[in-house]
């Protein structure tokens, strides 16, 4: 049996800011809401979300013999997280200014797993970082890390929603589990709803991806044309306005230090850049998922009346992270 306190200490030693532990079970309520969201077509161009819905809400279907979900979070808030000056037209979601979190979190989860195996020989499990059909935000709530905000993101009391998540699904039980975070602390605040430039934040803590700027700039582009409001990769509009994020501290893990300052770059700088320069500046960041040509296209894109559509679709992931 795994020791709850030992898991938390190992997670902190591996560089995680938060760690919660939950039993593996089927999350029926989450699956019901997800299927209703799909049925209403709010997933728009993200057709892959229709696949493996049963696995998404039951980690036991992803790891044979799964007993315990260890959900870890790292805060990434940086200067760009607080927003851009008025009129800035080449805005980038703040998480994308640092090393790709998939790479960072996999490395940290691998270290955590090795530490746990040292104390429990024969321990089996699997690490997940936004690459398989796993409902990580609901698992994080089950593990006591926070609640789901109106903008559908996990909000933690310590770091707001400026966190990235990674999970270990393990085959051993632990001596105790954390208490799920049952209550929302959003209160009557509707800042994320009111500040979304396209009205993508829907009732019931859901997102209409056809109107979501992050989806339009990163994922497979929906047919609906929208004004990108100056965003060229992702969107932080529903996060920068959140009171929990405004009081959140800057990131502490140096792995998440920004590799460049997006506020210092205008459209001309991006348009003048060649492939080699893009690789040197952004090669370790999530921006490589879109690539330079699509980023340039996002800079040029205007409302549907301009008749211009963005270029090549980005590669699909199993689970979207619409930061």
Which residues are known catalytic residues?
A: 130
What's the Rg (C-alpha) of the chain? Answer: 19
Measured CA distances, 283 to 280, 288, 292, 299, 312 (Å): 6, 6, 11, 19, 19
Quote the CA–CA distance of 150 and 195 in Å, as a whole number: 12
Instruction: Write the DSSP string, 154-172.
Output: EEBTTTBT-EEEEEEEESS
Instruction: Write the DSSP string, 192-218.
Output: HHHH-TT--EETTTEE-GGG-HHHHHH
Any idea what DSSP says for residue 292?
A: H
Measured CA distances, 148 to 141, 144, 205 (Å): 7, 11, 7
Quote the CA–CA distance of 143 and 178 in Å, as a whole number: 6
Instruction: Write the DSSP string, 294-321.
Output: HHHHHHH---GGG-----SPPPP-SS--
Quote the CA–CA distance of 214 and 321 in Å, as a whole number: 9
């Amino acid at each position: 049996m795994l020791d709850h306190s030992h898991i938390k200490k190992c997670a902190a030693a591996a560089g995680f800011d938060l760690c919660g532990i939950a039993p593996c079970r089927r999350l029926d309520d989450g699956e019901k809401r997800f299927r209703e969201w799909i049925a209403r077509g709010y997933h728009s161009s993200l057709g892959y979300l229709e696949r493996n819905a049963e696995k998404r809400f039951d980690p036991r279907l992803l790891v044979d013999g799964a007993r315990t979900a260890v959900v870890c979070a790292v805060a990434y808030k940086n200067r760009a997280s607080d927003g851009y000056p008025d009129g800035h037209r080449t805005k980038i979601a703040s998480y994308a200014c640092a090393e790709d979190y998939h790479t960072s979190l996999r490395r940290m989860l691998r270290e955590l797993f090795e530490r746990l195996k040292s104390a429990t020989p024969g321990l089996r499990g699997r690490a997940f970082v936004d690459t398989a059909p796993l409902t990580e935000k609901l698992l994080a709530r089950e593990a006591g890390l926070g609640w789901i905000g109106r903008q559908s993101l996990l909000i933690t009391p310590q770091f707001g929603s400026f966190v990235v998540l990674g999970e270990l699904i393990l085959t051993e039980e632990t001596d105790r589990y954390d208490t799920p975070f049952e209550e929302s602390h959003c209160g009557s605040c509707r800042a994320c709803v009111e500040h979304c430039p396209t009205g993508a934040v829907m009732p019931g803590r859901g997102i209409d991806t056809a109107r979501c700027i992050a989806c339009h700039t990163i994922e497979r582009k929906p047919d609906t044309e929208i004004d990108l409001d100056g965003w060229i990769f992702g969107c932080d509009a529903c996060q920068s306005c959140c009171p929990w994020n405004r009081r959140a501290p800057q990131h502490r893990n140096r792995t998440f230090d920004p590799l460049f300052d997006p506020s210092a770059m205008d459209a001309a700088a991006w348009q003048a850049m060649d492939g080699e320069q893009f690789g040197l500046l952004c090669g370790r960041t999530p921006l490589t998922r879109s690539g330079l040509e699509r980023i340039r296209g996002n800079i040029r894109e205007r409302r549907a009346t301009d008749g211009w559509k963005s270029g090549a679709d980005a590669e699909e992931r199993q689970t979207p992270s619409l930061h």
